[in-house]
A and B are shown apart, each in its own frame.
Chain A
Amino acid sequence: MAESGWPVAFSALQPFLDWALATEAERTQKRQTSEMVDIQAFYTAMLSHLEDILVYLNQFPLERMPPHAQQLMDMTLSLAEIAPAVELFGQPREDDTFDPFRFVPQHQ
């Protein structure tokens, strides 16, 4: 493991730490204001490790994760956020859909 506790196996993901965002509103903001090439790069990097990440994270209690694990967790949530953009729409937001910033998450 690296000094931060970040597992060596996932060191390729460290350049994507700006996707470690704690709330849906932040993750939506990031998706909707990112270029598709950056979203795609994050998607590709995360997907190749996703199964291993989730198996790794499953050993920690959800409410008391060490900081590096919480970052990885939040990055998997960002992957969930951008997955439809990559897999279904080919763009951050479909043409002619509702303004995502008007659909406001409650009780965050």
Chain B
Amino acid sequence: MKDRQPTGAGGHAAPDQSNDRWNDKYPHLGTAPIPIEPYISREYFALERERIFRKVWLNVGRIEHIPNPGDYIVVALPVCQTSVVVVRGKDGQLHAFHNMCSHRGNKIVWDQGGSCRNFTCKFHGWSYGLDGGLRFVPDEERFYDLKKDRLGLTPVAVDTWAGFIFIHLDPNPTETLRAYLAEVVPGLEGYPFSELSATRFCWRTEIKANWKIAQDAFQEGYHLPVRHKASAADAFTSGTNPHCHFLSLDLYERHRRTSSYGNLNYQPTPVAGMAYQFGSSVVVDRDIALDNLPAGVNPTRRSDWSIDTFWIFPNFSIFPSNGTYLTHHFWPITEDRTIWETHTYFPNAENAGQKFSQEYSKVLLRDILMEDGTTLEHIQDMLASGAKTHMPLQHQEICVRHAYRVVEDYVGFYAGR
């Protein structure tokens, strides 16, 4: 148990807002309003499918989710019109395939994950090894010249970084995962992901909004004092940072990262205080051992810090904090439908107090996310009206501007128009 006295004020009386006109740091992004079309256009979406989602590494989970040979997960990828199986082979290596039988195309695995010795098709019983090789064909001698060694499951590239599993629909990608992630690797290297991944909670929902509308809502704090007035504003804003300005941020070629302030004078509610006393909590942590965090998380080392975000192009984000982290995935279905999935991870709870503490953190996070959910669908409804063509963005929304720019650089919808 911990003493609840604030200890980490560290001489930072007020947020430093002398240097947070972020557009000045990234003049190449411009300051003009950004177009609405990419959020509503079916044509734009088709280009995203071909030029982004089929062409880059995509995160599909963590190694702890499939620790043993035969453990598998099934990843629905409606944006690429496929389903992918990721399995740990007998050799301990990860393999990934399109979830499609080589005979007449049946989907091989119908659940979302589990453990098996081989994959057997539920249509005519063709059977595949964990490496995807075709092992057995019923009544095989009645086929003509069946080349079994060429009829394995269609492979998809798979690789891991820091325990995160990524796939690439091109089985021989021109860019390695390590090269793809090079911009964010220094920031996250050394963060205790495996230790903090012992317990995971996850929610999934389908929303009626473009995937970028959903993602944009999590990469600015400008909405926090308004949309999260009841739930989170007190913990993340203060009299000296009323509009939730970022503490620091870096925009890269494809990815980006941010740090956010916490409010050191926040007075926790009774249950939040008790959760903090018996465990850790992202909103009331006063004992942050900054030296235990890798240099790239909260790089300013300010004690009035709360959480970082790392945005990994195109649709994955990692929010590392002190003793817990969360991730978001936004999987496009159509130009106005998205699967939104949030995971929140904690170390193994060793006793009842820690379990209670984790439950409170998780419930509070979920209730904060509920506040975001409705807005996303209302925004989509109105963008689709066509009443307006552009949206103005301020300095604190520069991640939205950067995200638009990176997508457009891949898609090239406006190039030459």
Q: Which residues of A contact B (CB under 8 A)?
A: 24, 47, 50-51, 54-55, 57-58, 60, 62, 73, 76-77, 79-81, 83-84, 87-89, 93-94, 96-100, 102-107
Contact = CB atoms under 8 A, between A and B. Distances in A.
B356 A83 contact: no
Contacts of B355: 62, 73, 77
A62 B269 contact: no
A97 B356 contact: no
Interface in B332-372: 341, 349-353, 355-356, 359-360, 362-364, 366-367, 369-372
A76 B230 contact: no
Interface stretch (B89-97, B196-204, B256-264, B309-317): B196-204
B373 A80 contact: no
A94 B270 CA distance: 20
B86 interface: no
B194 interface: no
A68 to B, nearest CB: 13
B71 to A, nearest CB: 13
Given A58-B353, A73-B355, A80-B360, A105 B374 contact: no
Contacts, number: 111
A73 B269 CA distance: 21
B363 A81 contact: yes
Interface in B12-29: none
17 contacts: A47-B270, A50-B271, A54-B356, A57-B352, A58-B353, A73-B356, A77-B359, A84-B367, A88-B367, A93-B370, A97-B367, A102-B373, A103-B205, A103-B373, A106-B341, A107-B201, A107-B202
Q: Classify the interface of chain B: helix, strand, loop or mixed.
A: helix
Contacts of B398: none
Contacts of B353: 54-55, 57-58
Contact of B269 (A83, A102, A104, A107): A83
B154 interface: no
Interface of B: 200-206, 230-231, 269-272, 274-275, 277-278, 341, 349-353, 355-356, 359-360, 362-364, 366-367, 369-374
Contact of A103 (B230, B270, B356, B369): B369
A74 to B, nearest CB: 10
Contacts of A103: 203-205, 366, 369-370, 373
A89 B205 CA distance: 23
Contacts of B356: 54, 73, 76-77, 79-80
B62 to A, nearest CB: 12
B231 A88 contact: yes
B364 A104 contact: no
A10 to B, nearest CB: 13
Contacts of B371: 94, 97-98
Nearest to B202: A106
B374 A54 contact: no
Contact of A84 (B231, B274, B351): B231
A86 B191 CA distance: 35
A81 to B, nearest CB: 5
Nearest to B367: A84
A89 B230 contact: yes
A105 B343 CA distance: 10
Nearest to B269: A87
Contact of A105 (B203, B278, B350, B372): B203
B372 to A, nearest CB: 7
A43 B278 CA distance: 18
Given A73-B355, A105-B202, A84 B363 contact: yes
Nearest to A53: B352
Given A54-B274, A55-B353, A106-B202, 16 more contacts: A51-B274, A57-B352, A57-B353, A79-B356, A80-B360, A80-B362, A87-B270, A88-B231, A89-B230, A96-B374, A97-B367, A98-B373, A104-B203, A104-B205, A106-B203, A106-B341
A24 to B, nearest CB: 8
Contacts of A60: 352
Contacts of B272: 83, 87
Given A54-B353, A57-B351, A88-B269, A106 B204 contact: yes
Contacts of B364: 83-84
B269 A97 contact: no
A80 B367 CA distance: 12
A55 B364 CA distance: 23
By Cβ-Cβ distance, the 3 closest A-B pairs, closest first, are A98-B373, A57-B352, A83-B271
A80 B271 CA distance: 7
